[in-house]
Structures are given as structure tokens and as C-alpha cells.
Amino acid sequence: MNKKDLSERDICSKFIGPAVKRAGWDGMMQIREEVNFTKGRIIVRGKLVTRGKAKRADYILYYKPNIPIAIIEAKDNNHSVGDGMQQALDYAVTLNIPFVFSSNGDGFVFHDRTGMSMEKEATLSLDAFPSPKDLWSRYRTWKELTPDEEAIVLQDYFDDGSGKAPRYYQTNAINAAIEAIAKGQNRTTVEVGKWVADGELKVMDTSVTDRSFETTAAVLLVMVGGWLWVQGRHSVETTDTAVLDLRERSVARGQGQSETGHAPLEIPRTAKHLILDLPIGSKEGPYEVGLISERGDQILRATGIAQLHDHITDLRVGIDLSNVRVGAYSLGVRQPGLEWTRYPTRVF
């Protein structure tokens, strides 16, 4: 058998999976393969609605069912052992997973995002994959968990028998809240999520300000209740998020600057949320977005915080175009205190 002739899936089933199991990972309880964790952006182009590429991890390893601790990105044997590392790191940031691996079936490249290892990145043989106990020990040291705190963190989620499980951002938020409670922190703010490009509602800020168990329980009930409400909405695909790609529409800064040479942007009147992929080189931070009439009147204004996601500076704002007439406008984008950069826009 020539390993070079094997597919990526063959490499997983014949080399990577067995190596992980030999290290002590339980195939039923601790290993998940080909895990889809985003459905992909909903992209509105005029009247056409499509989805972007979904994100899928080859392996996610769990110390407990509610504690994802490692991710593995697999490649076929025509790639080098570390070729999947950048993709794995991108996924690990999204999923908040500390230990990252890449493999082509010959061995593993191990990246420790906690910074606790002597070497941030190391090459391992197939037989040297870390055990669950090893990675949990590293995690516990990183989080500075005492035995009492660890016992709280390791509590299983309640299972109501429905088969439903929290999405990754909900798991991250719940675990962060539990860790803070275990440490007796008198205040922690947990960001459960935000509006993202797949058009799903993910916003809830929860502050834990009381150390009493009753308050803690109430906070977690609100979080889980919010999750169940979101799950109920999943049966209806939302198309009220318009994605506008401005990356190739860079213009010089200055008063009255308008973008030219491209077809007008198109925004449906049904849109409730805008996701703007800002021009290449745009800074993160606060921005203002305005819809400006041909006479220069500002029809509406929204604000948001631009953040870097997958090497793209995204700005996400809520809007209400229900009272805006169909027609030609300019979409203005600016940082506070600067002049508008205007993009010809058609509302339909």
C-alpha cells in the first residue's frame, strides 16, 4: 500500500484515528469527526441569496462532552505534516480550543495556544499523541484551576433527552461562565455571540454580579432559554442579512470621496442587518454607516465595531429600510471624525 495514493479520508481512518485512540481517547465519548460548526454566510447579491462555504473540522476531541479541548486538521500524504496547521488554528480561534494538531498520516504537528509549553509548536510521531489526561493537565494548569474549581468545571450539562446540544458559541459562553463562577469572581461578562454572516441571532450579554447559587442558576437558565429560542428559529432560514463586499473598492480618503468604477451596491428593503467586508487595509474599531440621498441628506445612520475575521475586516450593523423608498442612494462609511467614503447604492 502506497500512502501517497490514499485519500484524506483513508489517512484519517487508517492512521490518524487509530493513533488518537491508542493515546487513550474514547471513540464514542471523546472523538467527533467531520464536525460542521458553521453553515456558511448567507450572501445577498441583488435578488439572489446563496450560502458561503461551511466550516468543518476533521476532528474535535473532548475531555468531557461539554469541554472541547483539541482539534486536528487532516491532509492526505501528498501534503507535509504541518500543511493543515493554519486552517486548524483559524478553526481553533473560532471554537476557543487551546490545543491544535495537523497531520498527514506520518505524524503530528502540535501547536499549544495556551503558551504553557516550552515550545509553542512541536512535531510528534504517530505514537506520541497526547492522552486526554495529559492535555487536561495542561489545560488545568493554564486555567489555574484548584481541585474544588476543577470539580465544578467538570460537571456535565443537564441532558433533557431531546438530543439537542448547544452550538459552539453557546458552549464557549456557558463554560466561561462556569469557570468564572467556580473561581468566585464577583463579576464577569460573558459574550454568548453576535450577529454573524450566516444570519443567525447570537446576541446576549450576561453579567454575573452575585456569588449566590440562586443568581448563578438564573443566569444559566437565561442562557439556555436563549439557546432554545434560537433553536426554534432554525427551522426558518433568514434572508434579512445583506453582505456587501467592499474589499476591492478602496478609494483615497478625504472630503467628498466617492467610489466609482463598480456597479452600485444593492440592498433589499427587507434587510435588517448589514455585514460590510471593508476595503483591504481598513482598521478595526468603531465605524458609522449612513444611507445618503442623491441631494446629500442623511436618510439613516447606524454604528458598529469592525473586527478582523479570517483576514477580513467585517463591520456589522443593524438597519431598518422599511420606510426607505426604492431608488438610488450612497452608502456612507466612516470612522468617527472623518469624512464619508460613499458607495453608489440601489435600494430595491
Task: Pick the range with the lowest mean pLDDT from 112-121, 234-243, 320-329.
Answer: 234-243
287-324 pLDDT, tens digit per residue, is 999 999 988 888 899 999 998 876 788 899 988 888 89
Residue after which a domain boundary falls, among 233, 250, 279: 233
What CATH number has the domain bearing residue 306? 2.60.40
Cell matching residue 40: 456558511
pLDDT at residue 202, rounded to an integer: 38
Q: Is the pLDDT of residue 79 over 90?
A: yes
Instruction: Name the E strands within 268-340.
Output: 273-277, 285-292, 298-309, 312-318, 327-334
- 132 and 167 in a single domain? The answer is no
Are 8 and 138 within one domain? yes
List, in order, residues 6 or more apart from 226 with CB less than 8 Å away: 192, 204
Low-confidence winner among 4-18, 137-151, 177-191 (lowest mean pLDDT): 177-191
pLDDT at 252: 40
As a whole number, the mean pLDDT across the chain is 80
C-alpha cell at 74: 487532516
Q: Are residues 98 and 225 in the same domain?
A: no
- Do 172 and 205 sit in the same domain of this protein? yes
Look at residue 207 and tell me whether its pLDDT is greater than 90.
no
User: Residue 76 above 90 pLDDT?
Assistant: yes
CB count within 10 Å of CB 171 equals 19
Judgement on whether residues 139 and 200 belong to the same structural domain of the protein: no
The CA angle 37-38-43, to the nearest 5 degrees, is 175
At 219, give phi and psi (nearest 5°).
-60, -50
For residue 280, give Cα distances in angstroms to 8, 251, 261, 314. Answer: 34, 10, 17, 11
**DSSP SS3 for 220:** helix
**Maximum CA extent, the chain:** 72
Question: Would you place residue 223 in the very low, low, confident or very high pLDDT band (cuts 50, 70, 90)?
Answer: low
Domain match, 291 and 275 both: yes
**Least confident segment among 164-168, 173-177, 207-211, 260-264:** 207-211
Cα separations in angstroms, 147 against 4, 73, 107, 177? 47, 32, 34, 18
* Confidence at residue 292, expressed as pLDDT on a 0 to 100 scale: 92
What pLDDT shows up at residue 186? 54
Q: Is 60 exceeded by the pLDDT of residue 197? A: no
Place of cell 427551522: 235
Mean of pLDDT values over 28-43: 82
Task: Please indicate whether residue 56 or residue 103 has the higher confidence score (pLDDT).
Answer: 103
DSSP letters, 184-207, are T-S-EEEE-----TT------EEE
pLDDT surpasses 70 at 235 = no
Contact 329, 345 (CB under 8 A): yes
- pLDDT score for 88: 93
Residue 132 pLDDT exceeds 50: yes
Residue 41's pLDDT is: 63
Domain shared by 22 and 132, yes or no = yes
Q: Return the CATH number at 33.
A: 3.90.1570.30
Say if residue 71 is in the same domain as residue 193: no
Same domain, 227 and 252: no
Q: What confidence score (pLDDT) does residue 181 get?
A: 83
Q: Is residue 136 located within the same domain as residue 169? A: no
Q: Which of 127, 143, 159 is the last residue of a domain?
A: 143
Q: Taking the CA of residue 217 as centre, how many other CA atoms within 13 Å lie in the half-sphere pointing to its CB? A: 4
Query: What's the confidence (pLDDT) of residue 130?
Result: 96
270 and 300 co-located in one domain: yes
Q: What percent of the chain has pLDDT over 70?
A: 76
CA distance 175 to 170: 8
Whether 154 and 128 share a structural domain: no
Query: Residue 51 — pLDDT band, cuts 50, 70, 90?
Result: low
Domain count, the chain: 3
Determine the structural domain holding residue 58 and report its residue range. Answer: 3-143
**Grid cell of 249 as nine digits:** 473598492
Tell which of 216, 233, 250 closes a domain: 233
| pTM assigned to the model | 0.56
